[in-house]
Structure 1
Amino acid sequence: MKLFVLGASGLVGGAFAEAATRAGHHIIGTVGNFPGPVSGVDELLPLDLTDEAAVTASILQAKPAAIINAAAISEPAKCDDDLALSQKLNVALPALAARLAQQLGARFIHLSSEQVFAGDRPPYAVTDPVAPINTYARQKVDSEKLVHAAAPKLAVTVRAPLLMGNSPAGKRSLHERLLADWAASKTPILYTDEFRQTCTAQNLAAALLELCTRPEITGVFHWAGAELLSRLELGIRIRTHFRLPESTAPLKPTDRAANPKAAASRQANLALDLRPLSQLLKTPVQTFAQQLATLTVPPHLSTWLASTQQSSRA
């Protein structure tokens, strides 16, 4: 099956390409300015995703069986920094891709976010009303509405959580950012009272790939891991997994009360009810221990980590 991946050089897009290639599919992936190869992508397209004419021509020429939208500006602060760009990538792009999917009769898989909820009334079911509290979340809400209006019988939206996993550049996921901070002698500040239900990009990709072959499943769904953990606990468990001493890999606990301005645009608790998708798919929901077992060290940090681990054993 020919699959067109928007954002193939990103965390989820890269994981999806690898999983789909292992399953025997042909992958066409947009990679923007990403300089390196992307494992699993058969045809690399250095496409500007804000160029609607170029995106349209590429998708119509490819005639894929499914379009997977894994492209986004996913950091809320960056959405605020460049509202015009984030609006194009987070709202206009998925709306365009859904219209093209409808035109081609192609399956459309759209990646959304847990952040569509306010975080004050967990756990959240797919039927609960959305209440976005930052620009990124509002854009995701808008994208969901436009996608399902454009391709109601072809589209499925998956709201994903804070992601673990291994990215093509080794700089995108939670453990990669923490390791990079520690390697640079920085102390990450992590909240004790913010809770997330992480999963790996690889596990999410497996679910998205399965959805490509399940056209009877349409609408909006949730996917995440099995456990709800504080951001501080996530950091501690990642540090322990990589056998790093606290002296070398420090963490600074804080709480929302200490940062009221920041807390106003950050959700306190984004626990998700994974039904009914967890009951419909064969892809398993992973525990946090299972997620940790899949993590690798980014190549540019491997020498630092090996040296640090050796020093801690001396």
Structure 2
Amino acid sequence: MKILLTGASGLLGNAYAEAALRRGHSVIALYNQHVPELSGDVRARQLDGLELDRLTSLCLEEWPEAIVNCAAISSPDQVLEQPDLAEKINVALPRKLAQIATHLGARLIHISTDMVFDGQSSEPYRSTDMPMPTDLYGQTKLMAEREVLEHNPEDPVVLRIPILMGNSPRGRRSVHEKLLDAIRRGERPKLFTDEIRQPAAASNVAEVMLELTERRDLHGIFHWAGSETLSRYEMGQRILRHFGLPEDAIEAVCKQDDPAFAGRPSNLTFNLHPIVSKLKTQPVGFEEQLEELTRIEPLRS
């Protein structure tokens, strides 16, 4: 299968490309700044997500059988700082990809986030629950979901995912990389005990995405996550133990300790039914996610 992939140099995009290539697919790997380091039947193409006309021309030239969108402005702070750019990458780009996929008859996989919810539910969120984002990042991702479903009503997959674990291509994007780098700089990160997440390995999410790429009998909105729920502080503790570092390198805090974070979502966990019963890939626990991690050297420029 010929797959056009956006965001190929990111943590998830890179993991998906590797999984697709192992399965024998052909990948057109689109990137903005950093060339993805991949081997196999892959062609890396530089393309700014703002160049929608050029994107359309490329898709018409290549005529991919599947389009997978991992491109996004995923930092809530960056979304606030650059709202116009975030709207173009997080909303306009998925809209265009949905339109292109409909024209080509291509399978469309679009990645969304648990941040479309407000985190106030006492139960894990189902894919049918009403989204209610609390920040601009979540709002842009929810708008993207609606654009995708409107412009590709026949065969889309919107996959909402949680915070990701893994080794990013440049060693600076994932949870453990950011945490260890902050400690290396002499900081003592403050992690919330009352923010509950359901972390997933990027490699595991990539396998799910690949199954969904190949399974055209499944479409709509789905949730995927790891098999364990942990607070941000518990995640930090277990990362430090994994790397043999002292647990007092981080500080346990509550959201209410800082008014700036009081409205932050408290419980962003997912109900994974019915998708978990339909796929070969299964959620993995946090210990298995930790086993994939490598300790990083100082950040490269």
* Structure 1 residues 37-76: aligned runs within 5 Å: 37-38=37-38, 42-76=42-76
Q: Supply the distance in 2 between the matched residues of 1:87 and 1:3 (Cα, whole angstroms).
A: 25
Structure 1, unmatched stretches of 5+, are: 302-314
Q: Supply the distance in 1 between the matched residues of 2:228 and 2:112 (Cα, whole angstroms).
A: 20
Please list the CA deviations of residues 22-62 of structure 1 after superposition, one character each: whole Å capped at 9, or x if unmatched. 11111111111115634567111111111111111112211
Please list the CA deviations of residues 164-205 of structure 1 after superposition, one character each: whole Å capped at 9, or x if unmatched. 011111111101111111222221111010000000111000
Please list the CA deviations of residues 150-174 of structure 1 after superposition, one character each: whole Å capped at 9, or x if unmatched. 1111110000001101111111110
Matched with 1:91 is: 91
Matched AA of 2:259: P
Contact 1:119 1:270 in 2 (8 A): yes
Q: CA deviation at 1:297?
A: 2.5
Please list the CA deviations of residues 108-163 of structure 1 after superposition, one character each: whole Å capped at 9, or x if unmatched. 00000001111001311111111111001111111111101111111100000011
Matched with 1:151 is: 152
Matched with 1:294 is: 292
* Structure 1 residues 277-292: aligned runs within 5 Å: 277-292=275-290
The verdict on how the C-alpha distance between 1:193 and 1:41 changes in structure 2, with shifts beyond 3 A counting, is farther
Q: Supply the distance in 1 between the matched residues of 2:217 and 2:82 (Cα, whole angstroms).
A: 37
The verdict on how the C-alpha distance between 1:69 and 1:36 changes in structure 2, with shifts beyond 3 A counting, is closer
Contact 2:119 2:265 in 1 (8 A): yes
Matched with 2:166 is: 165
Contact 2:9 2:35 in 1 (8 A): no
Matched AA of 2:49: L
Matched with 2:261 is: 262
Matched with 2:272 is: 274
Q: Supply the distance in 1 between the matched residues of 2:65 and 2:297 (Cα, whole angstroms).
A: 34
Structure 2, unmatched stretches of 5+, are: none
Matched with 2:181 is: 180
Matched AA of 2:79: C
Matched with 2:196 is: 195
Tell me, what secondary structure is at the counterpart of 1:112?
strand
Matched with 2:225 is: 224
Contact 2:181 2:298 in 1 (8 A): no
Q: CA deviation at 1:284?
A: 1.1
Matched AA of 1:16: Y
Q: Provide the aligned length of Structure 1 versus Structure 2.
A: 299
TM-score by length of 2: 0.96
Q: Supply the distance in 2 between the matched residues of 1:259 and 1:245 (Cα, whole angstroms).
A: 25
Q: Supply the distance in 1 between the matched residues of 2:38 and 2:262 (Cα, whole angstroms).
A: 36
* Structure 1 residues 111-150: aligned runs within 5 Å: 111-121=111-121, 122-150=123-151
Contact 1:38 1:168 in 2 (8 A): no
Contact 1:17 1:41 in 2 (8 A): no
Matched with 1:23 is: 23
Q: Supply the distance in 2 between the matched residues of 1:120 and 1:193 (Cα, whole angstroms).
A: 12
Matched with 2:235 is: 234
Please list the CA deviations of residues 231-276 of structure 1 after superposition, one character each: whole Å capped at 9, or x if unmatched. 00000000001111246xx102111111122232x21110110111
Q: Supply the distance in 1 between the matched residues of 2:196 and 2:77 (Cα, whole angstroms).
A: 19
Q: Supply the distance in 2 between the matched residues of 1:139 and 1:36 (Cα, whole angstroms).
A: 26
Tell me, what secondary structure is at the counterpart of 2:118?
coil
TM-score by length of 1: 0.92
Q: Supply the distance in 1 between the matched residues of 2:260 and 2:177 (Cα, whole angstroms).
A: 27
The answer to whether 1:110 aligns with 2:113 is no
Q: Supply the distance in 2 between the matched residues of 1:214 and 1:190 (Cα, whole angstroms).
A: 39
RMSD (CA atoms) = 1.5
Q: Supply the distance in 2 between the matched residues of 1:118 and 1:41 (Cα, whole angstroms).
A: 41
The verdict on how the C-alpha distance between 1:242 and 1:34 changes in structure 2, with shifts beyond 3 A counting, is same
